[in-house]
Amino acid sequence: MGTIKSEQRDTVRTITSEVNNFLDIELKETENDGDIRFNLVNIEEEDVAGFSFYPGENPDYMGDIFLSTAFNNDPENYGLGVGDGVASD
């Protein structure tokens, strides 16, 4: 599994802040052992950009979000543009 880039982490932080304000909740970033983890994985299906699981106890990936490595390998079509700091259209 890969790691999301710093620009992607910043975007997740911005979205999380907006969700916190909108829903009046407090999602907090942790160094490890969080309930929601972001992962980059190689997805063979061309029309699938990612998937996630509902929160739960077992297995340990419950609640996690898995994004295609295409977000890093093909920035023109997925994820952030170079230096944008915001999601591309």
Overall average pLDDT of the 59-66 stretch:
89
Contact 50, 66 (CB under 8 A): yes
| Residue tagged 């609640």 (tokens) | 63
Q: 6-15 contacts: CB < 8 A, separation 24 or more?
A: 7/80, 7/83, 7/84, 7/85, 8/38, 8/71, 8/79, 8/80, 9/38, 10/85, 11/80, 11/85, 11/86, 11/87, 12/38
Of the listed ranges 15-24, 40-49, 53-62, 67-76, the least confidently predicted one is: 67-76
Per-residue model confidence as pLDDT tens digits over 66-89: 988 887 777 676 655 444 444 444
Work out the pLDDT band at 30, boundaries 50, 70, 90. confident
Per-residue model confidence as pLDDT tens digits over 3-23: 777 888 888 899 899 999 999
